[in-house]
Structures are given as C-alpha cells and as structure tokens.
Amino acid sequence: MGILINAPTRHREPGAPPVEANDASPDLTGALHIREVVRITGLRREQLYMWQRRYGFPAPLRDPFGDRVYPPDQVARLKLIKQLLSEGWRAGAVVPLADSALQSMLGLTSAEPASLPAEIESAVKLLAQHRVGELQNHLSKLLVGQGLRKFLEQTLIPLNEAVHERVVRGEMQNFQELRFADLAQRLLRDVTRLVRPTRDARQILLATPPNDPNQLGLAILELLLFTEGINCLTLGAGVPAQEIAGAARAYKVHLTLLLFDRGISGKIAGQEIRGLRAALPADLPLIVSGRAVNLLAKPIASVRTAADFSSVMSTMRELGVLPLAPVSLVGMLPDPQQRV
C-alpha cells in the first residue's frame, strides 16, 4: 500500500476573499506576505480584503505553501494609495486608479527622482539617518551663507519636495517628514521674528485647502511674502472654503492666496477652487498657487493663477497689493550652532 502525500494546504484567514488558483507557476520574486505588506504600508489587512472584493485590487498570488503574497508592483501601488488616504482621499476614489493616475495626484512621475544639488542631498541623507541635530546645523549654515531669499527658494523648497517624494515612494517614513517639517518651521520662526512688514503693508489671507497638509510650504510662502513687506494672516493647512471665506470677511483682507500643492487631481482642484471663489466676496481677489495650477483643465472665472513665487509677486503687483518698498531684516540671523 502506497503512502499518500498531501499537497500543501491553502490557508483561508477569517474574512479573507478567495485567491484564484494559478494555472502556471507565478513569478514570486520579491513578493511579500500580507503581514509584511501591512507593516510596510500601514494599511490594515481588513482593508486589503475589502478592496480585493470590491475593486479587484490588490490581487494576491499564492506561494507553494498556499499563503497569499503580494508582488512588488502591487506593494508600490498600495503605498501610493496609503499616501492619498493620509491626505484625505476616499478609498473609492483612489483604489481603482492606475499607478500613473495615483502618481499624478501626488505630483510624481514614474521616473526616478532627479539628482539634487550636493547641499540638498546631504540634508536628505542626514534626515534619513536620523541625525537631526546635524541637519539643523547644516540648514542654519546654508541660511547664513546663502541669504534668506536664496535659502528659501533654492534650498528649502526643493528639499521639502524631495523629502515628501521619498516618503511617497516608501524610501522614508511619515514620521521623518514630520520631524523635518517641525525642524524647518522652528528655523523659519526664528527668522520671522526679524522681519517687520512696512507700515503701509496690506494684509492678505494665506491657507491651503482640505486634503493639502503642506504646512511647511505654507510657512515658506509666508516668510517670502514677509520679506516683500506683505502682512500675512495665515490660517494654516487643510482649511475648508467656508472658514477661509469667513476669515476673509472678518479681517477685511485685501487678497486671498491659496497654496494648493498636494493630494489633488485636476477635477478635485477645480471643485475646491470654484467652491472657494463662490464663498469669497465677489470683489476680493483670489490667487491660487502650487501644482493645482498645472492640473486645471481650463481657467476659472475671477481666479488668478501663479505657478511659482515670482508669478505670485507679479500678479500682486498687477492687483496693486504690494507695498511701496520691501522690508529688511533687523538683527542677526539664527546662530548656525544653535541646536534643536
């Protein structure tokens, strides 16, 4: 009598949808078990099961022992989805989308990140290695050596985007971006105390809309405007349209500037901007800056767009919002040896 050898048993976890049997041996190179996918992406396994049933994604394979595994391309896509969920998107709006659409919503391309100047690359490396004290000293020295305007435009803005992009790609963790943002904002607060708007400066309202948590980008823009003698009333990041409009009326501002840079698609950007325009007083100018400008399918009535800071300033000059003369720094820049 022969010995019966049982084939590997396919395990079925409670609540997990079935995985179709593979007719041919699949390529499992780099595939991860669900526990690793959960750890890396921050998603719950219940979410993965529900999305598989509802949207057909993810589509796990089976290893020789019957365990579900996820190919690298699916894990990369799950990371993009997790980032969009963190920025306020609904699962139904992003899970069914292709990689290219997800990357577009996050302002990414499928290509590898472009090479960075040496001083920015050094900052990214220090952050990746959790050497925060050294990173602050590095940034402080760059600020003193470059001067405020060059430091903001040529170092801090591209560094902020480089860190965010690496978080989206899974090369850094969210807590590292948060730590960097806190460090940079402390440095900017030190400088802000040295900046005084001119007496005739007009006040503008500055905010980002829901789904855009770019607080550091907002702080950079605020300081750049301060150096031009513009008095900013900053509401912060992720502010609903009705709250922005209410503040604009209460404080009688001369202009509203919306930084719209992250967590967006062209359709959502258009809806948010049109909603804010309708909520604001009809005679109050509205400028929109950031990636949303390049995503809009067509111009929006009574909305001015500015892709970068130079364009923001040009538009303000056209609208007569700029003061007669820019401000100057008083006192000294932060000590580059001062630590967190």
Give tens-digit pLDDT for 268-319: 788 889 999 999 999 999 999 987 787 777 889 999 999 888 899 899 989 8
pLDDT digits (tens, 9 = 90+) for 155-205: 999 999 899 888 777 788 778 888 999 999 999 988 877 766 555 567 899
E strands along the chain, which residues? 32-33, 61-62, 68-70, 203-207, 231-236, 255-259, 286-289, 304-306
- Distance, CA of 212 to CA of 150 (rounded, Å): 25
Q: Identify the structural domains of the chain with CATH numbers, from first to last.
A: 32-105 (1.10.1660.10), 118-192 (1.10.1240), 203-319 (3.40.50.280)
pLDDT recorded at residue 113: 62
- Provide the 10 A C-beta neighbour count for residue 22: 10
Separation CA 179–CA 164 (nearest Å) = 12
Contact 133, 147 (CB under 8 A): no
Interior angle at CA 102, CA 62 and CA 162, nearest 5: 110
Average pLDDT, the chain: 82
Give the whole-angstrom CA distance, residue 292 versus residue 60: 35
Structure tokens at 24: 């041919």
Taking the C-alpha atoms of residue 103 and residue 119, their distance in angstroms, rounded to an integer, is 27
Q: Provide mean pLDDT across the span 237-262.
A: 93
Cβ proximity of 71 and 36 under 8 Å = no
- Model confidence pLDDT, tens digit, residues 172-181: 877 888 899 9
Residue with tokens 């220090």: 126
Query: Do 185 and 219 contact (CB within 8 A), yes or no?
Result: yes
